[in-house]
Chains A and B, each alone.
Chain A
Amino acid sequence: MDSMMEDMWGQTSLSAITLILYAAAEGFSISHLRTNKDSHGKTTSWLLLVGFLIHWFALYAGARAAHAVPYHDLPASMSFFSWVVIGSYGILLLKHREGSTGPFLIPIALLFLLISLFTQGGVQVLVKNPKLSGPLFAFHVTMALVGYAALTLSFVLAQLYLIQNAQLRRRKLGLLFSRLPALDVLSQLHRTSVTIGVSALSVAAVLGLIWAKINWGTYWDPKVLFTFLIIVVYLFTLFPRWIGWGGKKIAILSMTGFLFVLFSYTIVNLFISRGHTFR
């Protein structure tokens, strides 16, 4: 019991440190966007890297305390989600050297971590549920959260597409015009993140269905319907020629899809779904 208390305390303090590091990284990333100083860009990356590692330790401490995957309740899953969002930004930085998304993406991770930190509500001694500890369940939740994180990234990219598009159309070429990538780059990055998001979500859905059949004896859960809806909306953004859309309309469609994601992650989980209430 003592070691569990220690782990919980460790998790809270590590999460708080992570929060501070992410907040500092956000400050530097805004400054980098404004001033284009290399040193600010590098500081952002280092703060995020250190924050990301400490965040991992926080999740690990939480998992030890709960004897479960680090997303056994909604606050913990939000913390894990925030970690994956930062991870996806790291991939964007490493692979595409694309730092201009930082000021828009980091706040989302920050917000979720903040909510997670303030809703933890002390130690919850979970009655260990064997149904929630198998690899099938762990994969299902992990893939779902990875999917949500990728779709969050696509939401930010769609937003940036709209900003850049509006600047070009209105001939208002401000600071963001110079700093944001070209429309085709934003579009391509958006496609990649939606592809990852939809794939991960589809895998999560299939695993979830199998799990539900084994444990509940039925495939049915309202969550299935919402996930299916999300996948369909995003498929249209991946294959815009099906509907003859492009550019701005696809960006708006993608942002609408993200509203469904938020709805599914919060309202559906807590009030509608049978097995996603974290209770």
Chain B
Amino acid sequence: MESPLVLVGWDYRQTPVELREQLAFSAEKLRAAMSALKQEGILSECVILSTCNRSEVYGVAGGGLGDRDPILAVLEFVARFHGVPQGEIEPVGYRFSGTDAVRHLLRVTSGLESLALGEDQIIGQVREAFRVASSAGATRAVLHRLFQKALETGKRVRSETGLSSRPISIPGVAIELAQKIFEDLAPRKFLILGAGETSSIFYDLLLAKGARNIEVANRTFAKAEALCRRGGKAIPWEDLPARLPQADVVISAISVSTPFLSLDMARKAMTQRRGEPLFFLDLGIPRNVEPKVSDLENAFLYAVDDLQEIAERNRQERQAEIEPAMAILDEEIDKFFTWFESLAVVPTITSLRQKFETIRETEFDQRLSQLTQISESDREKIRLMAQSMVRSLLRTPIDAIKEEPDPGRRLDRAEVARHLFDLDVRGE
């Protein structure tokens, strides 16, 4: 039998951006689509993940499909919903069912499918998609368990492998370095030299990190003032030597032909700091800070080339972490399917019967051994009566599970039976 778990999706790898924009689900569209998929009986449960890099519909096949393939039904629905020809979106997307669908979700959540390998944002986006679907009543036992498993796996991969541990962008590397000198950047004093694009990127980044103490110096004072409109203080360029010893981190991105921050100026600043470290981030090309500054004690100097080299090394390290990450994924997929398969009708009913039979036998043996007066034939009659009682008691719940036409609801009922009667759920 085909697995009822399906996934239909489009991402940055195969789908052109114009088409991805058309296939994106806004907040309202998301709720409308989930509700329609359920009402039309295509999916009994669904979660839609829509980010700028991907649109994906995860679901459990619904009861209204008849003989239709659930994947094709979802595909047809998405085309109709967004008003795009099915023939146009079909060849540029991907479709998975069963294990492949689960593996894909776990890969996505772990950042293995992301444009920047191992990035962290996606885990939040998956969490949000799941939250929206849950609050809209679109998830039940299976997707609930699946998405929880995916989020857990994403977290596990990030903590147990180096897939996300080291930054791969230049600002990311710079911030990581700064945080290895001063753990909490918020109370530190930053001095940004220059008011161009790079300075502006770092200014925003520092504000986002909660930095409260930013000073900007630029040869054109007005530009420094313009950059500081969201906080911080513009200082005159001439004040640089006086302000330098006060700073904990100096970020310099000025277009000059020779370094303007001399060894002498840095040395004086370091003497005044009396042993306190100072982090120089030279983002200028050509360099803004004299390279010999890095020889000064407690002065840490990193130039663009250094940062680029670190970023590249980190990128390579992340590539090497794919294999260990996949091992974790395989483990978690196994666990999920052990649970999922235990929900299937036959094992649930078998466990249910076994449980009741065990209770019957234990009770029967215990009680009957206390009754010494009754004959062997009466004993047999009582045994048959107990067996018949168990069968009658189980008939209704077993039929309710077996005869439910909607596969999603059938899995739900199996899950409820397992919970109510504490049936052995393996693998978790």
Please measure, in the bound complex, the distance between the C-alpha atom of A169 and the C-alpha atom of B165, giving whole angstroms.
21
Query: Quick check: A169 and B159 within 8 Å, CB to CB?
Result: no
Query: Quick check: B298 and A168 within 8 Å, CB to CB?
Result: no
Query: Quick check: A171 and B275 within 8 Å, CB to CB?
Result: no
Given contacts A168-B180, A182-B183, contact A37 B300 (CB under 8 A): no
Q: Please classify the interface of chain A as helix (H, G, I), strand (E, B), loop, or mixed, using the class held by over half of its residues.
A: helix
In this assembly, does B41 line the interface, its C-beta being within 8 Å of a C-beta of chain A?
A: no
List chain A residues, Cβ under 8 A from B166: 173, 178
**Distance to closest chain A CB from B138 (angstroms):** 32
Query: Quick check: A246 and B298 within 8 Å, CB to CB?
Result: yes
Please measure, in the bound complex, the distance between the C-alpha atom of A84 and the C-alpha atom of B337, giving whole angstroms.
48
In this assembly, does A275 line the interface, its C-beta being within 8 Å of a C-beta of chain B?
A: no
Please measure, in the bound complex, the distance between the C-alpha atom of A268 and the C-alpha atom of B81, giving whole angstroms.
86
In this assembly, does B276 line the interface, its C-beta being within 8 Å of a C-beta of chain A?
A: yes
Query: Quick check: B181 and A36 within 8 Å, CB to CB?
Result: no
Q: Report B157-197 CB contacts with A as 1/0, cut-off 8 Å.
A: 00110000110000000000101111100000000000000
List chain A residues, Cβ under 8 A from B182: 182-184
Please measure, in the bound complex, the distance between the C-alpha atom of A168 and the C-alpha atom of B297, giving whole angstroms.
12
List chain A residues, Cβ under 8 A from B274: 240-241, 244, 246
Across the two chains, which residue of chain B brings its CB closest to A167? B180
In this assembly, does A177 line the interface, its C-beta being within 8 Å of a C-beta of chain B?
A: yes
List chain B residues, Cβ under 8 A from A36: 159-160, 165
In this assembly, does B120 line the interface, its C-beta being within 8 Å of a C-beta of chain A?
A: no
In this assembly, does A185 line the interface, its C-beta being within 8 Å of a C-beta of chain B?
A: yes
Across the two chains, which residue of chain B brings its CB closest to A187? B277
List chain A residues, Cβ under 8 A from B180: 164, 168, 177, 182-183
Please measure, in the bound complex, the distance between the C-alpha atom of A33 and the C-alpha atom of B286, giving whole angstroms.
39
**Distance to closest chain B CB from A266 (angstroms):** 32
Query: Quick check: A247 and B275 within 8 Å, CB to CB?
Result: yes
Determine which of B165, B181, B302, B313 lies in contact with A178 in the assembled complex, contact meaning CB atoms within 8 Å. Answer: B165
List chain A residues, Cβ under 8 A from B276: 246
In this assembly, does B357 line the interface, its C-beta being within 8 Å of a C-beta of chain A?
A: no
Query: Quick check: A247 and B159 within 8 Å, CB to CB?
Result: no
Determine which of B159, B273, B300, B310 lies in contact with A173 in the assembled complex, contact meaning CB atoms within 8 Å. Answer: B310
**Distance to closest chain B CB from A93 (angstroms):** 17
In this assembly, does A35 line the interface, its C-beta being within 8 Å of a C-beta of chain B?
A: yes
Across the two chains, which residue of chain B brings its CB closest to A188? B183
**Distance to closest chain B CB from A43 (angstroms):** 14
In this assembly, does A248 line the interface, its C-beta being within 8 Å of a C-beta of chain B?
A: yes
Please measure, in the bound complex, the distance between the C-alpha atom of A245 and the C-alpha atom of B231, giving whole angstroms.
34
Range, interface on chain A: 20 to 34
**Distance to closest chain A CB from B273 (angstroms):** 8
In this assembly, does B306 line the interface, its C-beta being within 8 Å of a C-beta of chain A?
A: yes
**Distance to closest chain B CB from A254 (angstroms):** 13
Query: Quick check: B160 and A37 within 8 Å, CB to CB?
Result: yes
**Distance to closest chain A CB from B403 (angstroms):** 44
List chain B residues, Cβ under 8 A from A184: 181-183, 277
Given contacts A36-B160, A171-B310, A178-B166, contact A241 B275 (CB under 8 A): yes
Determine which of A164, A171, A250 lies in contact with B302 in the assembled complex, contact meaning CB atoms within 8 Å. Answer: A171
Q: Report B295-328 CB contacts with A as 1/0, cut-off 8 Å.
A: 0011010100010011001000000000000000
Q: Report A165-204 CB contacts with B as 1/0, cut-off 8 Å.
A: 0001101010001100111110000000000000000000
Across the two chains, which residue of chain A brings its CB closest to B275? A246
Given contacts A36-B159, A171-B310, A178-B166, contact A185 B183 (CB under 8 A): yes
Please measure, in the bound complex, the distance between the C-alpha atom of A182 and the C-alpha atom of B305, giving whole angstroms.
23
Please measure, in the bound complex, the distance between the C-alpha atom of A168 and the C-alpha atom of B182, giving whole angstroms.
12
Query: Quick check: A182 and B181 within 8 Å, CB to CB?
Result: yes
In this assembly, does B134 line the interface, its C-beta being within 8 Å of a C-beta of chain A?
A: no
Query: Quick check: A38 and B159 within 8 Å, CB to CB?
Result: yes
Given contacts A38-B159, A178-B165, contact A249 B275 (CB under 8 A): yes
Interface centre among A35, A182, A241 (most CB of B within 10 A): A182
**Distance to closest chain A CB from B182 (angstroms):** 5
Query: Quick check: B159 and A248 within 8 Å, CB to CB?
Result: no
**Distance to closest chain B CB from A268 (angstroms):** 31
Please measure, in the bound complex, the distance between the C-alpha atom of A197 and the C-alpha atom of B306, giving whole angstroms.
40
Please measure, in the bound complex, the distance between the C-alpha atom of A184 and the C-alpha atom of B187, giving whole angstroms.
13
Please measure, in the bound complex, the distance between the C-alpha atom of A181 and the C-alpha atom of B179, giving whole angstroms.
9
Query: Quick check: B300 and A35 within 8 Å, CB to CB?
Result: no
List chain A residues, Cβ under 8 A from B159: 36-38
Query: Quick check: A245 and B181 within 8 Å, CB to CB?
Result: no
Please measure, in the bound complex, the distance between the C-alpha atom of A228 and the C-alpha atom of B413, giving whole angstroms.
77
In this assembly, does B246 line the interface, its C-beta being within 8 Å of a C-beta of chain A?
A: no
In this assembly, does B294 line the interface, its C-beta being within 8 Å of a C-beta of chain A?
A: yes
List chain B residues, Cβ under 8 A from A240: 274-275
**Distance to closest chain B CB from A226 (angstroms):** 27
**Distance to closest chain A CB from B181 (angstroms):** 5
Please measure, in the bound complex, the distance between the C-alpha atom of A238 and the C-alpha atom of B364, giving whole angstroms.
78
Across the two chains, which residue of chain B brings its CB closest to A177? B180
Please measure, in the bound complex, the distance between the C-alpha atom of A241 and the C-alpha atom of B179, giving whole angstroms.
24
Query: Quick check: A247 and B181 within 8 Å, CB to CB?
Result: no
**Distance to closest chain A CB from B335 (angstroms):** 15
List chain B residues, Cβ under 8 A from A181: 183
Query: Quick check: A248 and B297 within 8 Å, CB to CB?
Result: yes
List chain B residues, Cβ under 8 A from A249: 275, 297
List chain A residues, Cβ under 8 A from B306: 171
**Distance to closest chain B CB from A32 (angstroms):** 11
Please measure, in the bound complex, the distance between the C-alpha atom of A241 and the C-alpha atom of B306, giving whole angstroms.
32
Across the two chains, which residue of chain B brings its CB closest to A179? B165
| Sample of 6 further A-B pairs with CB below 8 A, known A183-B180, A240-B275 | A36-B160, A184-B277, A185-B183, A247-B297, A248-B297, A250-B275
13 A-B pairs with C-beta separation under 8 A: A168-B180, A171-B309, A182-B180, A183-B182, A184-B183, A185-B183, A240-B275, A241-B274, A245-B275, A246-B273, A246-B298, A249-B275, A249-B297
Q: Which 9 A-B pairs have the closest CB atoms?
A: A246-B275, A182-B183, A247-B298, A185-B183, A182-B180, A184-B182, A183-B181, A244-B274, A37-B160
- Seen from chain B, the residues whose Cβ lies within 8 Å of a Cβ on chain A are 159-160, 165-166, 177, 179-183, 273-277, 294, 297-298, 300, 302, 306, 309-310, 313
